[in-house]
Structure 1
Amino acid sequence: MKRTFQQPEDWGFIRDLQKEQPLYINWEKPELQTEPQLICEFSDPESLLETAVESLRKFMREAIPFPCPVTIRILKRKWKTESYELETARSSATVSACDPEGLRRGIYHLIQLWKSSQKPHLPKQKIRRTPWLKNRISRCFFSPINRPPANRDELLDDVDYYPEAYLDRLAAAGINGLWVSAELDQIAISSFTGGPDKNVLKRIEKLQQTVDKCRRYGIRIFLQMNEPLARPFNDPLYQKYPDMRGVEIYGRGTFCPSSPEGQAYLEETCRNIFSSVKHLGGLLNITYGESITTCASADHMKCPRCSKVEWKEILHQTWRAMRKGMDAAAPEADLICWLYIPAPEVLGEKFFTLLENPPERVIVQLNCESGSLVKQNGKEYRIGDYWLSTDTPSENFIRFAETAKKYNVQLAAKLQVGCSHEVATVPYVPVPGILYRKYRHLKKLNVTTVMQCWYFGNYPGLMNQAAGELAFETFEDTEEDFLERLARQEWGKYAPKAAAAWKLFSNAYVNYPASNMFQYFGPVADGISWPLHTKKQDLGLTPTWLLEPEENGDNIIECLMEMSLEDAIVQMKKLSSIWHKGQMKYNALRKYFTGNQERILDIDLGNALDIQFNSALNILQFYHLRNRMTLIREKEISNTLRMIELTGKDNRLGFHSEAEGYKYYPEKLKWRLKQLRAENNGNGNESYQIGSGWLNMENFRWKIDRLSDGKLELNVEFDGFLPGMDELSFSLDDSGATFPALFHADYRGQIFRKPDFAECSVTIGNNGWKLNMLFDPDDYSANRPLRFNLLRLTDMYNTRYSWPAGIKHHPPRLNLIFYQSSNMGTLEE
């Protein structure tokens, strides 16, 4: 695709992450630096604590103006991993733990205590802290995602994505895990697939380097995978081991873990990964969802082996084989089995059965927010995944957690700490109050692991720091108390003012419109760079996570699947207004921090979000007003047509005696009609008159009739069957006032999506297949004209036959399938 703009090639923030942060303290720095007295009473043969001790040494050298011995010691105690005791006095401190990671956490907490203080002398106190969250897993902010369109793999290049200063910031924020994308075929040596190629060995070598470097900061590396992936139906592995292939779906064969060969493959590949890469932290593996994996992803009753076991056992066998392979090489590594179920619906009962007697030492992960019921503007909305703005887990997650507790299963939560699809174009959204509320629930639910982010939402700063603190939080005091403690580390005596701003930010952000499509296509992320189309262009919206098309469109309804444009405006008004009040409090702090660049950046991050929220509101209002004008124009078209009819019958109409002539008459009215229709002609595509009979297209024919009860009947007939894939997509809209109604089915009779208001059936014959759809158009929308589009799809969607013919084909879009407003034809009544 031709690029309109030149993307900046310099990612300057990487240089910032490679630098040590400047030190800001609340007292005068010593003029003469002296070497700190650190008394290390522990054995560290692998130098794992060297980085944490050095961080303490650097801080004390720059900040502490008097001798202050700090003892760091290992005790023989049966404390939980990472637990520590910190005892401070006016001019001394002692950090005690029973393991190196406890010492690390205690060292960083001592630094935080000093940074929170107004003077270098600490109070006499003893603190004992224990984490309730074992694993706090994030991701590198700028490493390649190993996905299209760039398909860059961080394990194949020579770039160091984990500079020392960056890792120190992550460790100081309590992060003890990072995930890296991988696939079994790309990282595992297996006898089933032959000897490893050079790229497999190169990935293993780079991965070992990353593991070794991060381990020195107490950070374990997890491989994030989606395994075992379904393969092309005729994949060489399936040709050689046919029992590994399960059910055919979408031209692929699911992986069958019920076969001896399938079990052996999973066990061997996992064993070899952990044998090849020492000290690898574990696997964070989507075994259900995202992509097609095992027979559990399809109709398992069609598999000759999986049909003989319960559905849950398909996944249990998968987990068991992978855990067995890991145990043979690295029994201390964690297997986190992620059920990626992003849909907003109530969780199906079969997923709860997975918690009944699963393999031992498996951590089961579920999306924290999917299925949440959110009340906004007097209405209820069920939302899917990727929400920072919700402050409680979903009902799905709560019930799943309660069931996990019943069966003593370790539970992990997938959430977003820094930012989410809501607005992922900023390093983080400063709403630690929301995290406090959400983590308080997670602790009560016995969650032991959190995956803190997807590709975004992981930049170092306030939200990572808040999450790290919350992992040790007892929640014995209030949200306000927590925010003020958190703020003292960076804002000193102005902590109450900063905390008050954060509180308003959190109260504002919970008003984010409860529509996943608003996240995926809405104007909050980058509306500040959208053009405003005064005249209807019928251009679709660009996904917020992709760069192209660079020029965003005007079909604003695409981002409002679950919510009306009017309700989205109400929510954005609330968000923008309350946020702005918080930003005024933030801006008032600027005068106290003119010499502190980090705090100025924090304040201006709030200003950027203030602009983005206000801009998004303006865009919604702009298109709402344009839509209202469009509806008025439609009414005037109807009025003009009726008046043409009346003036043809009564020549008195339009005559003005004083003017001595006609103010309106048929010819002038027809001119006006042409002008109105020209203004409303967004795409100039074809039209179809209801009841005009069959229309023959290339590879299919169709017609629409009106029945006596006013309903419309669509019939589509397909001669023969296209090889491999043969599907139909039908889209219906009302020119942008209502989210499009979408239908998608295939020649086997599978209906992947259909409008709630329509009755649909697919009939399969010997010489082809047919679709019949019956619906009342008013059940969709009272607005006119209605527009629609038909597509017959084959060749992995690369070949399409359509009405209107000759339209430009675009890649499918999430939840919009093949809908493009510029490709619609008009339905004339």
Structure 2
Amino acid sequence: MLFWKRLLLFAVFCAAFPQNHSIADDVLPVGSHPLALTTPHFPDRLHAYVWRNWQLVEPQHLARLVGTTTKNIDQMAASMGLPAVESVSPTMRERGYITLIRRNWHLLPYDQLLALLEMTPEELAHTLREDDFLYIKLGSLKPKCEPLRYQEPETAARRRAAEIKQVVQKHFGDLSKVTAEPRFHFVKTLSSLEGTSAPGNRTSIPRDEPLQMVYSYFGLFGDPLIDPDIEPIPAGLLARLAEMGVNGIWMHVVLRQLAPGGEDFPEFGDGHEQRLRTLKKLVAKAKRYGIGIYLYMNEPRAMPPAFFEHRPELAGIRQGDFWTLCTSNSRVRKWLSDSLAHVFGEVPDLGGVFTITASENLTNCASHGQHQQCPRCRDRTDAEIIAEVNATIAAGVHRGSPEARVIAWDWGWKGHGDAPDIISLLPKSVELMSVSEWSLPIERGSIKATIREYSISAVGPGPRAKKHWAYAKQAGLKTVAKVAVNNTWELSAVPFIPVMDLIAEHCENLANAGVDGKMLSWTLGGYPSPNLLVSQRFSTQPNTTQETVLESIALERYGSEAAPLARRAWTAFSEAFRNFPYGGAVMYNAPQQMGPANLLYANPTGYRATMVCFPYDHLESWRGPYPAEVFAEQFEKIAHGWAEGLLHFEKTVAATSGTHRAAAESDLSVARAVHLHFASVANQVRFVLARDALRQANLSVEQQQQLHQQIQQIVDSEIVLASGLFAVTSQDSRIGYEASNHYFYVPLDLVEKVVNCEYVRDQFADEP
């Protein structure tokens, strides 16, 4: 239903403009607007466009967009060895639009991108801003692309297409004969109640139990409640998460969309009735499985200058094109409190909220440390402002639902430093949450670093969390640990990282620290995996041990014969993962999310890596504090140790049968994908080093020959890894997906990588 609504809306919008008018003018951001990257391994941009959208967008739609017939598009696809497309599910536009945006970012100008997505400029602008900082992930720039129009392929283009087809057939055979699981098939599987045991007959949510909260594995991030036809969290997923001990699921909302704005903000609240109806239905369904729904509050959101034209007294500080709604003004606080009272009054069975008040979106005047620029806030401390915002939120929530939880997250407080003054000012009804592993000192490859993000490879809790929990207990507040048990940006393209020993060690430490609950994921990490069970066991079984928990889970999941083998595999995986070269730049910029799907570039692109989106070839952005050689070595250590664990896990699968076999095969798929990703990162680092070394002057002939040979070996290895990941992800639609980024890659991207590798090999074929 959403697909057709958008199509009709887009057609009406386009009809209102003359053909020579760019409907994206003055609406969508372009940044520095550099020239888009070319795709030299394809005959031209048109062939790249067909390839990258094949099986994701209807051929007839691709044809209309470039002014040709479906037959011509079909012929172009066939000329490169792509299989015929019988039908295309609308699911990719509904649940994978970020995948479509990313893969066309360097191919299409905004007008054609809008037509491809069937979005208006306003819809895309909202998506770029509100969908978890998508525009920042894309690099805060739109590459410059000329309009793409169909042209009959010339002789050289037809010849190159034929060469691509030969490469495809050489490495993959006839793609039409590859039996693949459709993308998003996991949604259907996890939505079904088949195979679940949770009864779904609870009449209340367990407010007194230790919190075990995650994000929905395939939750929609931007505006998840507006369309009643899309089910954000289906019953099957609720049942599976309940079986893993989850009793809370959080979701992203924008408060001005969820409640009326009252006299002060009459423009707020458009569509809020529908959103509340959807929310009420979701909350009732989740309650049947003993799961509370929690709202992420990052409020009040900043607004554009026009919003303050007739209410300048409400504007706080400016950042870019937006101004804060100053919370030192009582009218702003009243709206904030009244809106939450309305939401929780309408939906009293909500579990509660958690807040971020000093980071992420620009919200209060102290949220980005600039409150001294505000005429009302400059004489106040950041502690007063932040504590007041949390108190205002708590007051509104508890007016509507006195038993709801309000969790104040210390993310960003004092620049992620110690914040006892904020904690001391919080109301007693608020719980204090801190990232467990934050500020933990580590040493990897003889390089010392400090944890400044989520990490599984480093086991917490760290000193900041310990201090903040102690301050909270002194102030009479309950405590919550923000911890990652499934995955982090160390690797998000798999549903979970099977490093069970590390998870158990961390959970045991948290049990000993006496925290009252755990938030187990950010947008990544909501898959109903055995990792969640580890946390559940430590929450419900006092004085248990790591070994007891891991042995029991291995026995339940794989059976008595396979359990010892699985334990050996988990230990090998965990020890290998301790080598991860942790750093903020590494987490966000390095190519581990893309793995073998990230292309090799024979010449430097000139583009900087972007946050969990485009790694490009910018090694300087990837490596963070690690020298390039050390950086490569650390990923090689992970890959080598992980390969050892895979041998144990393959034996695990062989020792199982029945339902145990199905679980083991599913987990092996994930473990194989992890190995392929990390091995590829090491290759990509080595490739960039060798490529750039060849560009140096005064190299001897022998040095040049060695570098050429090294590049050939790396290319050969990448072909093997890409082919291996193609086999894995073709049969497992979970691989490559993360909720806030959608699919980092699809199977045909791995085929393209092999085509790219063969092209790069030819560029370095001629030795001196």
TM-score, with structure 1 as normaliser: 0.59
- State the AA in 2 paired with 1:217: Y
Retained in 2: the 8 A contact 1:190–1:272? no
User: Of the candidates 686, 691, 695, which is equivalent to residue 621 of structure 1?
Assistant: 686
**Corresponding residue for residue 601 of structure 1:** 666
Q: Aligned with 1:447: secondary structure?
A: coil
User: Is 1:422 matched up with 2:487?
Assistant: no
Q: What SS class does the counterpart of residue 174 from structure 1 fall into?
A: coil
Structure 1 residues 289-327: Cα deviation after superposition (integer angstroms, max 9, x where no partner): 112211223433343433343331111211222212222
Ranges of 4+ aligned residues in structure 1 off by more than 4 Å: 1-4, 21-24, 99-102, 195-198, 541-544
Corresponding residue for 1:572? Answer: 635
Within the alignment, does 1:486 sit opposite 2:659 as a pair? Answer: no
**How far has the Cα of 1:526 moved from its partner?**
1.9
Choose between structure 1 and 2: higher helix proportion: 2
Q: Are 1:278 and 2:341 counterparts?
A: no
Matched, 1:248 2:318: yes
Q: Does 1:288 align with 2:341?
A: no
Residue 50 of structure 1 deviates from its aligned partner by 5.4
Task: Return the offset for 1:539.
Answer: 4.5
Q: Counterpart of 2:599 in 1: which secondary structure?
A: coil
CA distance, structure 2, for counterparts of residue 366 and residue 518 of structure 1: 22
1:260 aligns with 2:330: yes
Aligned to 1:348: 417
Does the 8 Å contact 2:428/2:476 carry over to 1? no
How far did residue 585 of structure 1 move? 0.7
The equivalent position to 1:585 in structure 2, one of 648, 662, 673, is 648
The Cα shift of 1:196 comes to: 6.3
**Which 10-residue stretch deviates more, 367-376 or 192-201?**
192-201
Instruction: Describe the shift of the 1:402–1:501 C-alpha distance in structure 2 as closer, same or farther (beyond 3 A).
Output: same
Which residue in 2 is equivalent to 1:231?
303
Instruction: Report the counterpart of residue 562 of structure 1 in structure 2.
Output: 625
Going from structure 1 to structure 2, the CA distance change for 1:530 and 1:328 (only over 3 Å counts) comes to: closer
Per-residue Cα deviation, 1:250-292 (whole angstroms, up to 9, x for no partner): 3533333232223322221111111122311111221221122
Partner of 1:538: 605
> Which amino acid in structure 2 is aligned with residue 17 of structure 1?
L
Separation (CA, whole Å) in 2 of partners of 1:619 and 1:609: 16
Partner deviation per Cα, 1:693-734 (whole Å, 9 max, x = no partner): xxxxxxxxxxxxxxxxxxxxxxxxxxxxxxxxxxxxxxxxxx
Q: Is the 8 A contact 2:435 2:465 kept in 1?
A: yes
Aligned to 1:136: 212
Aligned-pair identity in percent equals 24
How many pairs align? 526
Q: In the aligned structure 1, how far is the partner of 2:288 from the partner of 2:686?
A: 52
Q: Distance in 2 between matches of 1:326 and 1:402?
A: 26
Q: How does 1:497-536 map to 2 (within 5 A)?
A: 497-533=565-601, 535-536=602-603
**CA separation of 1:508 and 1:473: change in aligned 2, threshold 3 A:** farther
Alignment CA distance shift 1:635-1:209 (3 Å): same
State the shift of 1:169 in Å: 0.6
Go from structure 1 to structure 2 and tell me whether the alpha carbon gap of 1:274 and 1:563 turns closer, same or farther (over 3 Å shift): same
Residue 543 of structure 1 and its aligned partner are, at CA, apart by 4.2
Distance 1:176 1:23, change over 3 A: closer
Q: Is the 8 A contact 1:342 1:367 kept in 2?
A: no
Superposed displacement of residue 428, structure 1: 0.8
Structure 1 stretch displaced more, 12-21 or 279-288: 12-21
Taking the aligned partners of 2:604 and 2:256, their CA distance within structure 1 comes to 45
Between the aligned partners of 2:567 and 2:413, the Cα distance in structure 1 is 33
Secondary structure in 2 aligned to 1:365?
Answer: strand
Corresponding residue SS for 2:672: helix
Once the two structures are superposed, the pairs formed by residues 19-30 of structure 1 within 5 Å of their partners are: 19-20=192-193, 22=195
Partner of 2:730: none
584 and 557 in structure 1: CA distance in 2 versus 1, 3 angstrom threshold: same
Tell me the secondary structure at the aligned position of residue 354 of structure 1: helix
**For residue 331 of structure 1, what is the aligned residue in structure 2?**
402
Q: Deviations over 1:216-267 (max 9, x none)?
A: 001111111311123234424x733x44332334353333323222332222
- 1:433 deviation in Å? 1.5
Once residues 543 and 309 of structure 1 are traced to their aligned partners in structure 2, the CA distance between those partners, rounded to angstroms, is 36
What SS does the aligned partner of 1:168 have?
helix
Q: Which runs of 5+ in 1 are unaligned?
A: 25-48, 54-98, 105-130, 147-151, 641-674, 680-829
Counterpart Cα distance in 1 of 2:356 and 2:537: 28
SS at match of 1:331: coil
Distance in 2 of aligned mates of 1:158 and 1:21: 22
Q: 1:576-608 deviations in whole A, cap 9, x for unaligned?
A: 121111111111122222543222111232122
- Whichever residue aligns with residue 616 of structure 1, its letter is V
| Secondary structure of the corresponding residue to residue 568 of structure 1 | helix
Cα distance per residue 1:481-524 (max 9 Å; x no partner): 32111212111203222122112211111211112222222232
Offset at residue 476 of structure 1 (A):
4.3
1 or 2 for the larger relative contact order (CA 8 Å, sep ≥6)? Answer: 2
| Residues in 1 aligned to 2:502 and 2:201: alpha-carbon distance in whole angstroms | 30
Larger radius of gyration: 1
TM score, norm. by length of structure 2: 0.64
**Counterpart of 1:374 in structure 2: which amino acid?**
I
SS at match of 2:423: coil
Cross-structure match for 1:5: 52
SS of the residue 1:412 aligns to: strand
Task: State the 1:620 CA deviation.
Answer: 2.0
> Which of 514, 522, 534 pairs up with 1:454?
522
Following TM superposition, by how much is the alpha carbon of 1:452 offset from its aligned partner in structure 2, in angstroms? Answer: 1.6
Q: 197, 200, 214: which is aligned to 1:51?
A: 200
**Partner of 1:221: helix, strand, or coil?**
strand
| 8 Å contact from structure 1 (residues 536, 554) kept in 2 | no
Distance 1:589 1:21, change over 3 A: farther
With over 3 angstroms needed to count, the CA separation of the structure-2 counterparts of 1:254 and 1:162, relative to structure 1, is: closer
Letter in 2 for 1:5: R
2:271 to 199, 204, 208: 199
| CA distance 1:524–1:21, change in 2 (3 Å) | farther
Q: Say if 1:50 and 1:497 are closer, same or farther in 2 by CA, change over 3 A.
A: closer
Q: Which residue of 2 aligns with 1:145?
A: 221
Mapping for residues 200-219 of structure 1, pairs under 5 Å: 200-219=272-291
Structure-2 change in CA distance of 1:181 and 1:23 (3 Å): closer
1:472 to 526, 540, 560: 540
Q: Kindly state the Cα deviation for residue 414 of structure 1 after the two structures are TM-superposed.
A: 2.3
Question: What is the CA–CA distance in structure 2 between the aligned matches of 1:161 and 1:458, rounded to whole Å?
Answer: 13
Distance in 2, Cα, partners of 1:266 & 1:180: 18
Residues 1:605 and 1:311: Cα distance change in structure 2 (over 3 Å): closer
- 1:342 positional shift: 9.7
Worse-superposed segment, 218-227 or 313-322:
313-322
Give the Cα–Cα distance (whole angstroms) in 2 for the partners of residues 141 and 376 of structure 1: 31
Higher strand share: 1
Are the equivalent residues in 1 in contact too, given 2:609–2:621 (CA < 8 A)?
Answer: no
Root-mean-square deviation (CA, aligned residues, Å) is: 3.0
Of residues 502, 517, 520, the one that matches 1:434 is 502
Residue in 2 aligned with 1:60? none
Whole-angstrom CA distance in 2 between matches of 1:357 and 1:198: 35
1:627 Cα shift?
Answer: 3.5
Contact 1:173 1:469 in 2 (8 A): no
User: What are the superposed Cα offsets for residues 429-459 of structure 1, whole Å, 9 maximum, x if unpaired?
Assistant: 1112212222223233332232221221111
Distance 1:299 1:456 in 2: 30
Q: How far, CA to CA, are the matches of 1:153 and 1:316 in structure 2?
A: 29
